[in-house]
Structure 1
Amino acid sequence: MAGDAFDFSPGAQIPVSGGAGQTAATQALASAAYRDGPVDQLLKANSDWAASAVTPARISLFEPNLGEAFSRAVQQRMLGGGRKPLIQSFGLEPQVIVEHCLAASRIRKQRDSRLSIIMIVFGLLFLPGVLLWLGGFQLRRTLAGAQNKRAGALGTALLAALAVLGVIFLVKLPFNGFWGIYLRAMIVAPLIGGALAKTICERTAKDLRERWTGLLAGGGIGAKIPEAVPQTPGEKAAEQLRRSLEQVSAEQQSNVAFYAGPKGILGMGTRWGSWQLAEELTPGESGREIQPFRSWDIVRAVHDQLKLLERTPINSGGLPAPRIEHWIISPIGEGAGAVSRPAGSDGGTYQIRGPRLQEICDKQHFGSGERHYLGVQFVLWDGQLVITMLVNVTVLHKTLRIEVTGHALGPTHALFNGKPSNRTKKFKKGIKFWETWERTLPVVEPREVVRLTARAPLTWYPPLLEYWGGKLVLPEPFGLRHAWADKPWRHRFMADDALRAATPVLRVVHEAALRVLAEHGVDTGRFGNRANFLSGAIQDPAPRQADVYNA
């Protein structure tokens, strides 16, 4: 596999993510690993086209919550065996998010180990009583999940009736001796185990919520993953996990992207604007023939000029340092369920460089195959806004075309920015009945304790747990960022930043291109006139669906 090309030196330290990945977008998505609440909330955060899904649970008592489903799905998709290529997550550090998913799963495994012991001591030894209690909770959970609210009340009434019958059963039994004691213990033991389980669940829930809050506050505890550090040369599982984490970072640095029709370039967002300068190549006034040049010569001049974008003649802030990259865009179908990265000159790092890059730039201007784009990318708003301007240079017969397109990827969905809230309940005062007072309830509800305790023994074999409880299915082709990205146009300042970045980039591209053309004896009159027209028209840009062609 491609990842084997890396030089993996032996690691001596436990991997610890740098705080929360240095960006707000990374922190927001990483916090999902520690969250509680229903997993269906993730479906509301889907982007317009990257729709995830949740497979229905066969037994609702075993269904996962949001953090459990998110952590498991991300680990399987990004680290599991037979994984498919990933889409780059611009503005994010995907390895940091995966590390937090591993850390959250490790915390939950420690909790489930303790809960499993409780299930063995108070459950297996008193199995009939545990089955009765679990059956009652499952019945209430099933009825409460119905559309009719009376069904939920009926479930509560049935559970209360079961408790009353249990008390009567304890007071007057038809058995004496050992069986009498066992039958009484069969009813009481699950309640004792439940009290111990509640303490364990509360402690773990507070730990997870502290990490959740810390990430959104800009700090938090780093994700420690000791299982990714091989202790001995023969420890294959840890070595494979370490290689998989390195592979995630390597794919993030790939310069190969994919165009999926109206969906745009995956990971960069849809194309919101396009400006084209296309004129005929004619000799200058001297009458000499045009000196031979290639598309790569123009691209290289534009590349050098774009590096100076952050400079300004006056001290007024200006643009931040952009990322300048040569991109190879590969077309795929709009409904493609996977992508494949072409083998390049540096396949071990998923990049295409050197002669192969120049060959695509100079020759692949028409027909099928990859296309070369020079990209200038700004990561703003602490990673929440990614602005990408792509430059494409093509020559067909005597026509030179220089196209500049704008792409914008908005912030992560607001769901990922929500902090945990305490459960409270209001009560009316006895004497001053017109006044109320509020009490903070425990973090974990009793039904959540039952769910976690019932799931605990099955967490040692996740496929069986997913069969009974369901799982989160991630959208394909999958990338951590674009799957849950919102539109930047909903935010006035973000929209302004995206529109403003187009003007200086376009002018720099035209300036560099005209200089190269003049140096090679090309008449730049028409090119200059067209560039001036575009320079004026871009002063009043407006976002539109440039990837959608109306017939």
Structure 2
Amino acid sequence: MTALDDLRNAAGVEFDFAPGAQVPLSGSSGGRTGLSQRIASVAYREGSPEKIKEPNDAAKVNEGRFSLLEPNLGEAFTRAIETRMLADGRKPLIQSFGAEPQVVVEHALAAKRIRRQRDARLTVIMAVLGLLFLPGVAVWLGLFQLRRTFAGSQDRRAGALGTLLLVGIALFVALLVVRAPVGGVLQIYLWAMLPAPVIGWFLARQVSERTAQNLRAHWADLAGGGGSGVVVPEAVPQNPNDADAERLRIGLAKLAAEQESNLTYYAGTKGILGMGVRWGHWHLAEDLRPRDPGREIDPFRAWDVARAIGDQMRLLERGPLHTGGFTAPTITHWVVRHVGEGAGEVARPEGPNADGFRFSNIEVQRICNEQQYSAGDRHYLGVQFVLWDGELVITMMITVTVLHHTLRIEVSGYALGPLHGFFGEKPKPDKKKVRDFPRFWKQREVELPAVNVREAVRLAARAPLTWFPKRLDKLGGTIALPEPFGLRHTWATKPWNHRFMVDDVLRTATPVLRVALSAAFKVLRENGVDMAPFDARAQILSGSVQDPGPSQDDTYGM
């Protein structure tokens, strides 16, 4: 069995090579793509990789050996997304509720393809005007590397001393070339050695400018939540032996399958990864006593109660009045695993009862009925609402436990807030004021080219190495995304600064709690349980939940 076969089995996909194979198209699922497209806009951006720390300072920028070869933000983000979400043997991902990871990955691949086309042209220019005049190119690249060493990798000036030193070195090299004791063809070559790279730089800048404008157009469209879908022809195998395309296709299928996993993780005060922090919880606990004296209650299991609550939750969008009300919730029986607040990675479902990225229904039922105390995974029934086009994710988690004679029903609320404003930023071209000829007494603003001298040199220097990405990662540097990584929760903010989002979060608790209790009580009555203590406790709980307030429930005031 080959490595590709292993990947197919893990992703649950089979090779389907047939005429008319469909090219993967982003946004085809039709919903909540606006938020995903804003995340994807980073793949088309320019600027320093350090900007990725703005929405989450847990991201790391690993510096390379040569600042001249460092990537910009879009290049580094594209590479990070590709390796983190598609590479063989990658770590598990956290589900992105309210977002579509495949849209982000496909846009990253599209941005990579645009840059690859540019780099192919730049590589030709470097081969013709670089290899033929390699000594001159080495001199110019050395000067630019010195300049970046003095000034840093950004657009800061090198300083008076550094500038004088660079000019002095350049004049000294030029003098050596002019005064070299050679003649004939060799002399002509030496005299052309320094100007030829300048011609190459001019051509490289024209190529880079067109690509930069194209990338900026995509950036502007996606940052506004718009933009059209992209095709990923690289993921369509051209023949049964097209291993790279097949690997990419399997990676995308694996990504979609992992998004549907029913295993999630509790990370201490961070709450449930992907769902946000726990802002409130309510519980009811009473003894199970028979309704009729001299008769035992009919035996039932925690799963019977949880399943009944889940069935009833599917009717939440219905009501006696036509007021809009709830949107259709997503009902999921979750297996929740504790990983701790400082966890650097999570584990996938494993064991004979794991089916790909999911636990089987039989295993979920077993966990619900048997793993209610001490070590092990726990069962939660999740009722999730994705609102505000994915900007707000409200999840109510319900768990049912039976210890000795006590039945406990607990309802907890989790909220994941809007995406950080960084992802909505649009390109702002650099401008400068110039004299308006012939009205020299007036000034006007002109837009500067997207690619300046330093950027053109950087792109030309990187272009031949982009065909060797691992080597370029070491020489130029990379971005390390925050772990455990998920596209949605990694860059989410708190919802408590948005008045209407807060209202939506708080209003969800009361009806969900009452439906949960109503469904549970129906099961108890059918099995001969004395409902008097449960009804009394429910009245108290129903009153307290009417005025919920968000709090940091997982800190326990300690």
For the 8 Å contact 1:21–1:96, the answer to whether it is kept is: no
2:462 partner amino acid: R
2:35 partner amino acid: A
For the 8 Å contact 2:349–2:356, the answer to whether it is kept is: no
> Residues 200 and 419 (structure 1 numbering): CA distance in 2 closer, same or farther, change over 3 Å?
same
Say which of 499, 514, 523 aligns to 2:506: 499
Tell me the distance in 2 between the aligned counterparts of 1:452 and 1:538. Answer: 59
Say which of 327, 330, 333 aligns to 1:326: 333
2:431 partner amino acid: T
Tell me the distance in 2 between the aligned counterparts of 1:17 and 1:118. Answer: 33
> Residues 536 and 458 (structure 1 numbering): CA distance in 2 closer, same or farther, change over 3 Å?
same
Say which of 224, 236, 254 aligns to 1:247: 254
The offset of 1:123, in angstroms, is 1.3
> Residues 7 and 512 (structure 1 numbering): CA distance in 2 closer, same or farther, change over 3 Å?
same
For 1:247-326, list aligned pairs within 5 A: 247-284=254-291, 288-326=295-333
> Does residue 128 of structure 2 align to residue 121 of structure 1?
yes
1:39 partner amino acid: P
TM-score (ref. length: structure 2): 0.92
Where does residue 196 of structure 2 map in the other structure?
189
Indicate the SS of the match to 2:412. Answer: strand
Task: Say which is worse superposed, 190-199 or 332-341, in terms of deviation.
Answer: 332-341
Say which of 204, 212, 231 aligns to 2:219: 212
Where does residue 3 of structure 2 map in the other structure?
none
Tell me the distance in 2 between the aligned counterparts of 1:154 and 1:489. Answer: 51
> Does residue 65 of structure 2 align to residue 31 of structure 1?
no
Indicate the SS of the match to 2:99. Answer: coil
Tell me the distance in 2 between the aligned counterparts of 1:402 and 1:255. Answer: 21
Deviation sequence 1:364-419 (CA, Å, 0-9, x none): 11011111100010111111111111000001111111011111111221111111
> Residues 548 and 381 (structure 1 numbering): CA distance in 2 closer, same or farther, change over 3 Å?
same
Task: Say which is worse superposed, 197-206 or 488-497, in terms of deviation.
Answer: 488-497
Indicate the SS of the match to 2:63. Answer: coil
Q: Number of residue pairs matched?
A: 548
For 1:171-182, list aligned pairs within 5 A: 175-182=182-189
> Does residue 372 of structure 2 align to residue 365 of structure 1?
yes
For 1:327-342, list aligned pairs within 5 A: 327-342=334-349
The offset of 1:158, in angstroms, is 4.5
Where does residue 419 of structure 1 map in the other structure?
426
2:26 partner amino acid: S
Indicate the SS of the match to 2:240. Answer: coil
Where does residue 508 of structure 1 map in the other structure?
515
The offset of 1:286, in angstroms, is 5.7
CA RMSD of aligned residues (A): 2.5
Say which of 228, 233, 236 aligns to 1:226: 233
For 1:522-537, list aligned pairs within 5 A: 522-537=529-544
Tell me the distance in 1 between the aligned counterparts of 2:255 and 2:185. Answer: 60
Where does residue 104 of structure 1 map in the other structure?
111
Say which of 17, 22, 27 aligns to 1:13: 22
For the 8 Å contact 1:140–1:158, the answer to whether it is kept is: no
Where does residue 456 of structure 1 map in the other structure?
463
Deviation sequence 1:289-337 (CA, Å, 0-9, x none): 2221111111111111111111121111111111011101112233332
For the 8 Å contact 1:394–1:401, the answer to whether it is kept is: yes
Indicate the SS of the match to 2:358. Answer: coil
Where does residue 83 of structure 2 map in the other structure?
76
The offset of 1:171, in angstroms, is 7.3
> Residues 527 and 252 (structure 1 numbering): CA distance in 2 closer, same or farther, change over 3 Å?
same
Say which of 382, 386, 392 aligns to 1:385: 392
> Residues 506 and 181 (structure 1 numbering): CA distance in 2 closer, same or farther, change over 3 Å?
same
1:208 partner amino acid: L
2:136 partner amino acid: G
For the 8 Å contact 1:345–1:352, the answer to whether it is kept is: no
Tell me the distance in 2 between the aligned counterparts of 1:297 and 1:13. Answer: 43
For 1:142-161, list aligned pairs within 5 A: 142-145=149-152, 151-159=158-166
1:526 partner amino acid: P
Task: Say which is worse superposed, 66-75 or 330-339, in terms of deviation.
Answer: 330-339
Where does residue 50 of structure 2 map in the other structure?
40
Deviation sequence 1:189-235 (CA, Å, 0-9, x none): 11110110011101111111122222234442422222211111122
Tell me the distance in 2 between the aligned counterparts of 1:357 and 1:309. Answer: 23
For the 8 Å contact 2:435–2:444, the answer to whether it is kept is: yes
TM-score (ref. length: structure 1): 0.93
Indicate the SS of the match to 1:45. Answer: coil
> Does residue 443 of structure 2 align to residue 436 of structure 1?
yes
Instruction: Give the gaps of 5 or more residues in structure 1.
Output: none
Tell me the distance in 1 between the aligned counterparts of 2:59 and 2:155. Answer: 28
1:279 partner amino acid: E
For the 8 Å contact 1:386–1:408, the answer to whether it is kept is: yes
The offset of 1:549, in angstroms, is 3.0
> Residues 344 and 376 (structure 1 numbering): CA distance in 2 closer, same or farther, change over 3 Å?
farther
Where does residue 467 of structure 1 map in the other structure?
474
Say which of 486, 493, 506 aligns to 1:479: 486
> Does residue 408 of structure 2 align to residue 401 of structure 1?
yes
Task: Say which is worse superposed, 362-371 or 426-435, in terms of deviation.
Answer: 426-435
The offset of 1:458, in angstroms, is 1.1
For the 8 Å contact 2:148–2:158, the answer to whether it is kept is: no
> Residues 219 and 521 (structure 1 numbering): CA distance in 2 closer, same or farther, change over 3 Å?
same
Tell me the distance in 2 between the aligned counterparts of 1:248 and 1:346. Answer: 21
Indicate the SS of the match to 1:55. Answer: strand
> Residues 361 and 127 (structure 1 numbering): CA distance in 2 closer, same or farther, change over 3 Å?
same
For the 8 Å contact 1:145–1:152, the answer to whether it is kept is: no
Tell me the distance in 2 between the aligned counterparts of 1:512 and 1:67. Answer: 50
Tell me the distance in 2 between the aligned counterparts of 1:493 and 1:429. Answer: 49
Tell me the distance in 1 between the aligned counterparts of 2:308 and 2:482. Answer: 39
Tell me the distance in 2 between the aligned counterparts of 1:510 and 1:160. Answer: 80
Deviation sequence 1:492-539 (CA, Å, 0-9, x none): 222222122112111111111122222222222222222222222222
Tell me the distance in 2 between the aligned counterparts of 1:21 and 1:457. Answer: 39
For the 8 Å contact 2:266–2:272, the answer to whether it is kept is: yes
Where does residue 209 of structure 2 map in the other structure?
202
Percent identity between matched residues is: 56
Indicate the SS of the match to 1:342. Answer: coil
2:25 partner amino acid: V
For the 8 Å contact 1:344–1:351, the answer to whether it is kept is: no
Tell me the distance in 1 between the aligned counterparts of 2:157 and 2:101. Answer: 45
The offset of 1:161, in angstroms, is 5.2
